[in-house]
Structure 1
Amino acid sequence: MARFTPPAADAMRARLLLAARDEFAAAGLVGAKIERIAAAASSNKAQIFHYFGSKEGLFDALLAQTVAETFDEVPVDTDDLAEWAARLHDSYVRRPWAERLATWHRLERGSDGALEAVIASNTEAVAAVEHAQRAGVLPRSYRPAVLLGLVMHLAAFWSSTSPEYGSLVAAVAPARRRQIVIDAVKALVGG
């Protein structure tokens, strides 16, 4: 008789997060169904509760992972904030679920759902901007957190635009969109 060997905990957790990514990006926290996530991961609801405690815990873990992956893939570069914004834009194009998850988080969790891991990532990025401002690399025309937020929103402009507004800028080619991000950030920081 063949002996049953359960999958490694990390592999199961990763499968659940991947399945959750697609479900939460499509339906948000409220609309997502634990049953669909479990089925897509070839798992069950009990595993979700074992690893994440709740549907909300799974969503939070996924959002924290997505933010960490984004900053790992595109670490803040205060020496060339415009090019960093372009790389962040590229990341959002390659990973459309990242912006969708952030939007669902804002809509459904609001300030009540602040995640320490995300706060820590943002705090590190703001500290880097502040350091660059003090060193004279970046202008002090905006507070560090405001400047970083403006740059991040410029990078996300194309991926977070509503369909109604998107139709007004649909003729802008993808390569041009990237260049617009660069040009806008350069104008913002005076470069």
Structure 2
Amino acid sequence: MPYDSAATRARLLDAAYREFSERGLAGARVDRIAAVAQANKQAIYAYFGSKDDLFDAVMADRLSVLADSAPFSPDDLPGYAGALFDALTSAPDLMRLTRWRSLERDDVTDGEVESHLSKALALKAALDLPDDDTAVDVLEIVIALSTAWLTVAPGLKTAGGTDPSTRRKAHRAAVVAAATAIVGHFSGRS
């Protein structure tokens, strides 16, 4: 069977995603990643350079997957909020990965800044917002709304005895309603 470098790289990214989301950058071990990926440890260094670079590659890969599953639409911010909620609640490992990143590293890549800023500027134009800072604030608030379900204590998700599925649907509806209210507040539309 011929060697498939693209398949090896993909296996390494998948294994690293699991390892980093479970243990963070500091707790992750290159040996475990290689073993799970059924690859030589040296392949990690050949493909990615270092453990930090592998972490960055995993973040970029997973954020790309997230962007595909929850496409940003500046003309439908409530729809985006709902889609982002759905994507993140169906992939809680991604939220854990991003939380590890913010705990262990305070840097951002140029790609992350560009992606965030381009969304904010598109939002500014779509909603006729007064300035770039307001557009960034609106985007950040909607992202925070969409991720809140994954950041609260599990017991709060079913406070009052509501079953988890019903509670999750109600929370999603609240996220979309809040995003709708934000659009109305900042753009003068309802």
TM-score of the superposition, structure 1-length normalised? 0.86
Cα RMSD after superposing both structures: 1.7
Given residue 119 of structure 2, which amino acid in structure 1 is its aligned partner?
A: A
Indicate conservation of the 8 Å contact 1:86/1:182, yes or no: yes
Structure 1 counterpart of 2:12, from 16, 19, 25: 16
Indicate conservation of the 8 Å contact 2:78/2:177, yes or no: yes
Matches within 5 A, 1:43-122: 43-110=39-106, 113-122=107-116
What residue is the counterpart of 2:157 in the other structure?
169
Given residue 167 of structure 1, which amino acid in structure 2 is its aligned partner?
A: G
Given residue 174 of structure 1, which amino acid in structure 2 is its aligned partner?
A: R
What residue is the counterpart of 2:147 in the other structure?
156
Aligned-partner Cα distance in 2 for 1:78–1:123:
12
Structure 1 counterpart of 2:180, from 151, 166, 186: 186
Structure 1 counterpart of 2:36, from 36, 40, 43: 40
Indicate conservation of the 8 Å contact 2:81/2:179, yes or no: yes
Aligned-partner Cα distance in 2 for 1:77–1:91:
15
Aligned-partner Cα distance in 2 for 1:117–1:64:
9
Aligned-partner Cα distance in 2 for 1:82–1:60:
30
Aligned-partner Cα distance in 1 for 2:127–2:120:
10
| Deviation (angstroms), 1:143 | 0.7
Structure 1 counterpart of 2:136, from 145, 154, 168: 145
Aligned-partner Cα distance in 2 for 1:72–1:157:
21
Given residue 135 of structure 2, which amino acid in structure 1 is its aligned partner?
A: P
Percent identity reads: 34
Unaligned runs of 5+ in 2: 185-189
Aligned length: 178
Aligned-partner Cα distance in 2 for 1:168–1:96:
17
| Deviation (angstroms), 1:168 | 2.3
Given residue 50 of structure 1, which amino acid in structure 2 is its aligned partner?
A: A
Please list the CA deviations of residues 129-179 of structure 1 after superposition, one character each: whole Å capped at 9, or x if unmatched: 121133xxxx55971111000001101110122x2xx32232462211210
Given residue 87 of structure 1, which amino acid in structure 2 is its aligned partner?
A: A
Aligned-partner Cα distance in 2 for 1:169–1:13:
38
| Deviation (angstroms), 1:181 | 0.7
Find runs of 4+ consecutive structure 1 residues off by over 6 angstroms: none
Unaligned runs of 5+ in 1: none
Given residue 186 of structure 1, which amino acid in structure 2 is its aligned partner?
A: T
Structure 1 counterpart of 2:3, from 6, 21, 25: 6
- Give secondary structure in 2 for the equivalent of 1:78: coil
- Give secondary structure in 2 for the equivalent of 1:77: coil
Indicate conservation of the 8 Å contact 1:92/1:156, yes or no: yes
Aligned-partner Cα distance in 2 for 1:73–1:140:
30
